[in-house]
């Protein structure tokens, strides 16, 4: 089942390929982020250099697909024509204590009018789009 409306552009890795390991991970239902090989710090979004020590030695690692809500928003306006009849919907900023408290944005599935509590535990839900021209998987979130 697809949570988002048809007609949205399919996500693809950036032309420089920097985020390709993230998208490859989602296809395997893994949440991947970068970790510095020198200082060990996790980071998101993808960069060529460590945010902490400025090393260029970064690897991609799988992290647990669980976190907690750090912040959230309930947009009522469509940000794309395909979302004209989708509002409202929930967007959450998920924090990962197990990965240096890095944060990642995503949609929260379920009732868009549900109560959202800062600090609530959430888990990743992998939404496969196998019928797309180039198959991809989105990461959505739900409360546990």
Q: Is residue 4 part of a domain?
A: no
pTM of the model: 0.90
Q: Is residue 1 part of a domain?
A: no
Total of domains in the chain: 1
Q: Is residue 89 part of a domain?
A: yes
Q: What is the pLDDT of residues 35-86, one digit of tens each?
A: 999 999 999 999 999 999 999 999 999 999 999 999 999 999 888 888 788 7
Residue 106 has which token pair?
């995503």
CATH number for 24: 2.40.50.840
Confidence grade of residue 5 (pLDDT, cut at 50, 70, 90):
low
Q: Is residue 32 part of a domain?
A: yes
Mind giving me the DSSP string for 62-109?
Answer: EE-SEEEEEEEE---S-SSGGGTTT-S-EEEEEEEGGGTTEEEEEEEP
**Residue 33: strand, helix, or coil:** strand
Residue 117 has which token pair?
């509590």
Residue 45 has which token pair?
């979004």
Q: Is residue 46 part of a domain?
A: yes
- In angstroms, the CA 70 to CA 119 distance is 6
Residue in this structure with the two tokens 């959202």, named with its chain if needed:
116
pLDDT at 12 (0 to 100): 82
Q: Is residue 5 part of a domain?
A: no
Percent of the chain past pLDDT 70, that is, above it, reads 97
pLDDT at 77 (0 to 100): 87
Q: Is residue 121 part of a domain?
A: yes
- In angstroms, the CA 82 to CA 88 distance is 13
Q: Is residue 131 part of a domain?
A: yes
The residue segments making up the domain with residue 46 are 20-143
Report whether the peptide linkage leading into residue 63 is cis, meaning its omega lies within 30 degrees of zero: no
pLDDT at 22 (0 to 100): 97
- Cα separation values, 16 from 46, 69, 71, 122, 134, Å: 11, 31, 30, 31, 18
């Amino acid at each position: 089942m697809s949570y988002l409306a048809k007609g949205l552009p399919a996500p693809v890795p950036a032309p420089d390929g920097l985020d390709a390991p993230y998208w490859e991970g989602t296809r395997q239902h893994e949440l991947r982020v970068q970790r510095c090989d020198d200082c060990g710090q996790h980071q998101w979004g993808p960069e060529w250099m460590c945010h902490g020590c400025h090393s260029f030695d970064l690897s991609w690692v799988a992290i647990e697909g669980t976190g907690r809500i750090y912040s959230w928003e309930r947009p009522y306006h469509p940000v794309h024509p395909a979302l004209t009849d989708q509002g409202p919907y929930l967007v959450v900023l998920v924090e990962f204590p197990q990965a240096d408290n890095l944060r990642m944005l995503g949609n929260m599935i379920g009732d868009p009018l549900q109560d959202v509590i800062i600090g609530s535990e959430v888990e990743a839900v992998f939404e496969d789009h196998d019928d797309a021209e180039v198959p991809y998987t989105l990461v959505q979130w739900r409360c546990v």
